[in-house]
Chain A
Amino acid sequence: AQKVTQAQTEISVVEKEDVTLDCVYETRDTTYYLFWYKQPPSGELVFLIRRNSFDEQNEISGRYSWNFQKSTSSFNFTITASQVVDSAVYFCALSEVNYGGSQGNLIFGKGTKLSVKP
């Protein structure tokens, strides 16, 4: 069965600390996509990244980096030198290409609330 687990419900750090948000997924598909979204207090979900299952290369975008490891079914997200503006709920999500059906639904984790204190 397909499932996304974000074991960390809430994380609190002090500004400038590095923080890693964990994401573990389960899928029966051999081809799938993984995503990260940010939901600031305003509520709108902001798309951050998509990773294809056949591309395990890690990605860096400014202070954000993503570590995809198929061997452990994990897609972790690290924020380096965190800032107060990073405070938000972060969601990891999965879609299955072959088993996802015509609608290609995204399966979301329950989210991790990150609080960055000044």
Chain B
Amino acid sequence: SQTIHQWPATLVQPVGSPLSLECTVEGTSNPNLYWYRQAAGRGLQLLFYSVGIGQISSEVPQNLSASRPQDRQFILSSKKLLLSDSGFYLCAWSEIPGSEQYFGPGTRLTVT
């Protein structure tokens, strides 16, 4: 069966510090991968998606970036965090574009 992991689970970082969140999927090949952010108010905002290694598309211009160095690894990064980057970050995967997405446990980021 497929599983999706995210770490760290929680993170407190000062403004201006770098960020690296990692997501890995097990039990499947060539998954479509997604990064979402959920800020206060509960809405889900799609940040990045990837259909293959090295292929990243951004939905929202911001100071975050994503990379996919391996088939089942998806990384979210920032060189300098802003207060507005605080939120709950969720990674997801799907087998087919448009089909159901399966979410990881999330990372709660607080920027102070």
The chain A residues found within 8 Å of chain B, CB to CB, are 33, 35, 37, 42-47, 50, 89, 91, 95-97, 100-106, 108, 110-111, 113
The 7 closest A-B CB pairs, nearest first, are A104-B97, A104-B98, A45-B103, A95-B98, A108-B44, A43-B106, A111-B42
Contact A102:B90 (CB < 8 A) given known A44-B104, A89-B42, A108-B43: no
Shortest distance from the beta carbon of A51 to any chain B beta carbon, whole Å: 11
Interface size grouping (class) on chain B: 20 to 34
Task: Decide: A96 and B98 in contact? CB cutoff 8 A.
Answer: yes
- Are B100 and A100 in contact (CB-based, < 8 A)? no
**In the complex, A103 Cα to B46 Cα: how many Å?**
11
CB proximity to A under 8 Å, residues B66-107: 88, 90, 92, 94, 96-106
Instruction: Report A-chain residues with C-beta under 8 Å of the C-beta of B90.
Output: 43-45
Partner of B97, one of A37, A50, A103: A103
Which residues of A are found within 8 Å of B41, using beta-carbon distances?
110
Q: Verify A113–B97 contact, CB threshold 8 A.
A: no
Q: A43-B90, A44-B90, A104-B97 are in contact. List 15 more A-B contacts (CB 8 A).
A: A33-B100, A37-B103, A42-B105, A43-B88, A43-B106, A43-B108, A47-B101, A89-B42, A100-B98, A102-B97, A104-B98, A105-B98, A106-B98, A106-B101, A111-B43
Write 6 A-B pairs (CB below 8 A) sorted by A numbering: A33-B100, A95-B99, A100-B97, A104-B32, A105-B98, A106-B101
Q: Does B49 contact A (CB under 8 A)?
A: yes
Contact of A97 among B59, B98, B101, B102 (CB under 8 A): B98
The answer, among B46, B88, B103, for a CB contact under 8 Å with A105, is B46
Is B23 on the interface with A (CB-CB < 8 A)? no
Query: Min CB distance, A98 to chain B, in Å?
Result: 10
Cβ of B51 within 8 Å of any chain A Cβ, yes or no, is yes
- Nearest-neighbour CB distance to chain B for A87, whole angstroms, equals 14
CB-defined contacts of B99 to chain A, threshold 8 Å: 33, 50, 95, 104
- Also in contact, A47 and B102, with CB within 8 A (given A103-B57, A105-B49): yes
How far apart are the CA atoms of A91 and B108 in the complex, in Å?
A: 19
